[in-house]
Amino acid sequence: MKHSHGVNAGRGIMLSIILALSGYTDWSVAQANLNKDYPTKPLRMVVPFPPGGGNDILARTLGQRLSEVVSQQVVIDNRGGAGGALGAAIAASSNPDGYTLFLGSVGNLAQTPALKDNLPYNTLRDFKPVSLIAVSSFILAVTPSLPAKSVQELISLAKASPGKLTYASAGAGSSLHMAGELFKHATLTDILHVPYKGAVPAMTDVMTARVQMIFSTMPPALPNVKSGRLRALGVTTIKRAAAAPEVPTIAESGVRGFHVSNWQGVLLPVKTNPAITAKLNRDLISTLSLPGMGEALALQGLESAGSTPLEFETLIKNEIAKYTQIVNAAKIVVD
């Protein structure tokens, strides 16, 4: 028993040191949280987009399974508007008691901050990253009539006729636009951007050869690739996509180091007790490990990607820097 008391005392001292370094002083509350008293009521997960979209579907999948782990309901709160900025601002200014979660994505956490200076939130200042949840690749697809069967052949075509090839996107500043600009930057090519009001009309015009290429998310593109209405040349992540393992990566196709991913993760208001952050991180990792969770994400074109809070924070910082660089280099301006 003496040995057990000694271990417990050591744990208590270690907890005190960790919390002191984190700037948190209410150690009794923190200890209670670590003893799984949190959560004691339903959680709210803010999704900064309307119901029915990809982020909303992911949130409902995650929320349903997270509720099994924490034995509390997870209520999805859709707060669409301003390209995700409205919901992000609402989540950032919420009570930092651990009961308001934010499902953020590369768009509202990294790309929009790179594009706009006057946002009602600051990703790095106002949020505490908890865990990355899912990642997915974009797929580079071309109209079948284009005489390019590989990424290198596409690059050769682009360099032979600067400004003649075109790529479609879901609009200026969208993730599809950013992927295209990163490709141009990495390959030193001049390809004309054609923005659309959404991904569906953009892809339609690529299939009908009004535009030559598109960087698309996986779910809408793959059926059209399989039917022959589009030709897939590469995926944008470092590893091949599980949803299309036969499609090479752009990096392995000769564009060394090329990497663009679509990702989502959970964050909390920045002043949330670090003990709650640690507990929620463990719960999210457990959720992602539940039977059938990987398959549920795969149906959405996503791959499970749990992380530590520090790993997620590092990713966000690196992505903001990457997109700020490309926005400046390409002189991208959005309203």
Where are the domains positioned within the chain? 2-135+267-330, 137-235
Single-letter code of the amino acid located at 330: A
Whether 2-135+267-330 and 137-235 share one fold: the answer is yes
Average pLDDT score, the chain: 90
Percent of the chain beyond pLDDT 90?
A: 80
Q: What is the pLDDT of residues 270-313, one digit of tens each?
A: 999 999 999 999 999 999 999 999 999 999 999 999 999 999 99
Assign residue 171 a region (left: φ > 0; alpha: ψ between -120 and 50; beta: otherwise): left
pLDDT exceeds 80 at position 26: no
Q: Cα separation of 40 and 32, whole Å?
A: 11
What is the per-residue pLDDT across 35-47, written as a single tens digit (0 to 9) for each? 468 999 999 999 9
Please state which CATH class domain 2-135+267-330 belongs to: alpha beta
- Number of other CB atoms surrounding residue 94 within 10 Å: 18
Give the pLDDT confidence score for residue 36 in this predicted structure: 62
> Closest by alpha carbon to 79, among 114, 113, 46, 41?
46
Pick the more confident residue, 16 or 249: 249
Mean pLDDT confidence for 224-252: 96
Lowest average pLDDT, out of 1-5, 116-120, 203-207, 256-260, goes to 1-5
Could you tell me the pTM of the whole model? 0.85
CATH class of 137-235: alpha beta
Beta partners for residue 192, in sequence order = 166
Report the candidate in 47, 71, 42, 41 with the shortest Cα–Cα distance to residue 61. Answer: 47
- Region of residue 292 (left: phi > 0; alpha: psi -120 to 50; beta: else): left
Radius of gyration of the chain (CA): 22
Those residues with Cβ within 8 angstroms of residue 9's Cβ, 6 or more apart along the chain or in another chain: none
As a residue count, the chain comes to: 335
Quick one: pLDDT band at residue 21, thresholds 50, 70, 90?
A: low
Q: Residue 59: what pLDDT?
A: 97
Q: Can you give the pLDDT at residue 83?
A: 82
User: Residue 33's pLDDT band (boundaries 50, 70, 90)?
Assistant: very low
* Closest by Cα among 119, 40, 136 to 84: 119
Q: How confident is the model at residue 2 (pLDDT cuts 50, 70, 90)?
A: very low
Residue 8 has pLDDT above 90, yes or no: no
Confidence (pLDDT) at 9 = 46
Q: What is the pLDDT of residues 130-180, one digit of tens each?
A: 999 999 999 999 999 999 999 999 999 999 999 999 999 998 899 999 999
Mean pLDDT, residues 52-57: 90
